[in-house]
Amino acid sequence: MQSRAWIRRSFWTGAALTFVALLACLIMLVLHAVGDSTGSVGVWGVFLVAIVAWVVNFVGLVALLAWRAMQEDNSAAGSVSDSSTRGS
């Protein structure tokens, strides 16, 4: 299975979403300091969307890592039982 590729993509997506959230937060603070409250509220929405997407990505990444760990445990257990039955 291509779980390594999906895990890698999920890590990069998380990094990009973190960058977008930090950039939106910075822009929001600058707009608020300048006095553009409407623009600040709009960028706040972008920030919230980026955070929600980051949380969804994080949950998916944890699920992918858990699935991969279970697959490795199953294959390791299968190879141990196969080698023990072949030896006797």
Q: Give whole-number Cα distances, 26 to 29, 53, 61, 66, 77, in Å.
A: 5, 18, 27, 34, 50
Residues 54, 14: contact at Cβ < 8 Å?
A: yes
Torsion sign over Cα 52, 13, 11, 21: negative
Answer yes or no: pTM beyond 0.85.
no
Q: Give whole-number Cα distances, 81 to 25, 39, 65, 87, in Å.
A: 54, 63, 24, 10
5: which 2 tokens?
């590729």
Q: What confidence score (pLDDT) does residue 82 get?
A: 59
Q: Along the chain (88 residues), what's the average pLDDT of each consecutive run of 10 residues?
A: 87 96 96 93 95 97 93 78 58
